[in-house]
Structure 1
Amino acid sequence: MTTTSTITFYDIYANAEPVATMSPSTLRVRYALNLKGIPFTTVWVEFPDIEQVCKKLGVAPTGKSRDGKPRYTLPALQDASTGIALSDGAEIIEYLDKAYPSTPTLLPRETIALQLATYSALVPRFLAVYPLYAARAVRLFSPETQRWWRETRAAMFGKPLEEAEPKGEEKARVMNKFIADFGEVYQWMSRGDGSFLTDDQTASFVELTLAAMLNSLKIVFGEDSEEWLKIASWNNASWLQFLSKYEQYHRVAA
């Protein structure tokens, strides 16, 4: 296994502890690197600077914005030992599996299609609560990034961030649906051994994604918030038990 760091990991900065990010997309790759035991260094990037950083690295856009322009996102990873630079979480983890074969495999070839399909089913469940999430997340950013966040979310929602945030009965409806949707995910897990484990009994890409989503909600809403306490108590506090397995991977590289 690699003993010195050849990997630079580009993560999205937020004022959070113990790791300075709130992004579920970057958290799942951070968990993968830590679980695999691959040394890496972190470069923190503010949201408004993501496109510039990605272009400098030479990584491809991961999609298109609503106006049709290329959309650049983090995480991104640069590996000096191979000269590879990548963005997109699934592609990064697939690369790490191949480039570091002595580490636990998170996306075995025979499971890729199923895992990516399951991931696609998780995303809309997470996005269902996004207006509330976005309104709470703004407090975690620098003043410049707060301005950028408010402008871009207003364009996304068609109204100012505070107006887009669900309140009262609408908030209760959104939260109840969100928790019910994740209750369905819990039922998927309950049909097996309580996880999305791969054959060698290490965590899978899907399981890391789910842990990253939940920890992102915990960070953005706040550990003592009404929203997080409600999520955490659902299904007999099963999500707290699930997340406890990932505490050791939720850290910054040295």
Structure 2
Amino acid sequence: MAPSPQIVLYDLKLVDAPGLIWSPNTCKTRYALNYKGIPYKTVWLTYPEVHSEIPKLTKKDGRPTVPVIVDLLHDSTVVQDSWEIVKYLEEVYPDTPKLFNTNSIGAHLFFQDYCTQKLLFAVVFRLVLSNMIDLAGEHKEWFIKTREAFLGMSIKEFIGDDPTVHAKALTQNLEPIGKILKTYPYISGQQIGWSDIVFTSSLRMLVAFRPDSFGALVLDDKKAGKQFQEWWNRMDKYMQLEPPCYSV
């Protein structure tokens, strides 16, 4: 019998792709929970539901976001944002595998910012945004309107006319990471750390929406493809849903 869930994870779903693991920020928390072996269940929310349900949990004003966790084992504590969540899990579940130590937190935060700025937002998001729109279903127009408001420009302007520009940028930004993986089995060194989960989560969006590009631009990268493939295989067991009986 599967253990009872200790954590409730609020994740983001696309109407026409239920159960698809794709959101980089929620992926960070999902993989951290999987790596630490903490039982959890998922509550899937559409974009409009994020705006209606998350403020009820966080009791905060401002733009509602996921991931959010509710820790059923510790007074139903609510934690929002993947960085705050991993810090919380490290502190409250000290007997689970560590993702950083007190001497490496700054380095992991720097790498998280690097992945967000140089890989995720600047490149991957541009490569997959049209695919995301196609899977938004009944929320397609709402999705376009809110994304354009967030971006400050039209979707067409953001994506641009030449996708090869984004492909080239991805290859360039992967190069320094590939150099690390030529020396160490993980980005964090000899064992998995938060940096590995951040990088995995950034690529997860590409895997979900453009698997062809993931294969061609990452796994078959001429400079470090072999290293990326071996690292991806080592990380693969943490790229999973929780047992189906947990999902609601």
TM range (shorter): 0.7 to 0.9
1:133 to 114, 128, 137: 128
Asked whether the 8 Å contact 2:177–2:187 carries over to 1, the reply is no
Partner of 1:233: 220
Query: Unmatched 5+ residue regions in structure 1?
Result: 62-69
Instruction: Give the distance between the partners of 1:98 and 1:166, measured in 2 at CA.
Output: 43
Partner of 1:10: 10
2:230 pairs with 1:213: no
Assess, with a 3 A threshold, how the Cα gap between structure 1 residues 195 and 230 changes in structure 2: closer, same or farther.
same
Instruction: Give the distance between the partners of 2:88 and 2:10, measured in 1 at CA.
Output: 16
2:83 pairs with 1:90: yes
Shift, 1:59, TM fit: 5.6
Map of 1:85-234 to 2, 5 A cutoff?
85-126=78-119, 127-129=121-123, 130-144=125-139, 146-162=140-156, 164-167=158-161, 170-190=162-182, 192-197=183-188, 201-221=190-210, 223=211, 225-226=212-213, 228-234=215-221
Assess, with a 3 A threshold, how the Cα gap between structure 1 residues 104 and 227 changes in structure 2: closer, same or farther.
closer
Counterpart code for 2:195: V
Asked whether the 8 Å contact 1:94–1:107 carries over to 2, the reply is no
Secondary structure, in 3 states, of the residue corresponding to 1:128? helix
Counterpart code for 2:86: I
Instruction: Give the distance between the partners of 2:213 and 2:98, measured in 1 at CA.
Output: 37
2:54 pairs with 1:54: yes
Assess, with a 3 A threshold, how the Cα gap between structure 1 residues 16 and 211 changes in structure 2: closer, same or farther.
farther
Kindly provide the CA deviation profile for residues 143-162 of structure 1, in whole angstroms up to 9, marking residues without a partner as x: 22x22221122334455424
- Give the alignment's TM-score, normalised by structure 1: 0.83
Identify which of structures 1 and 2 has the higher relative contact order when contacts are C-alpha pairs closer than 8 Å and 6+ apart: 2
Kindly provide the CA deviation profile for residues 155-195 of structure 1, in whole angstroms up to 9, marking residues without a partner as x: 3445542454333xx321221012111112222444x4142
Shift, 1:210, TM fit: 0.4
Shift, 1:3, TM fit: 4.1
Instruction: Give the distance between the partners of 1:193 and 1:103, measured in 2 at CA.
Output: 23
Instruction: Give the distance between the partners of 1:229 and 1:51, measured in 2 at CA.
Output: 36
- Give the alignment's TM-score, normalised by structure 2: 0.85
Assess, with a 3 A threshold, how the Cα gap between structure 1 residues 184 and 10 changes in structure 2: closer, same or farther.
same
Counterpart code for 2:29: V
Give the number of equivalent residue pairs. Answer: 236
Partner of 1:67: none
Asked whether the 8 Å contact 2:12–2:45 carries over to 1, the reply is yes
Instruction: Give the distance between the partners of 2:17 and 2:60, measured in 1 at CA.
Output: 28
Asked whether the 8 Å contact 1:29–1:92 carries over to 2, the reply is yes
Percent identity (aligned): 22
2:72 to 75, 80, 91: 80
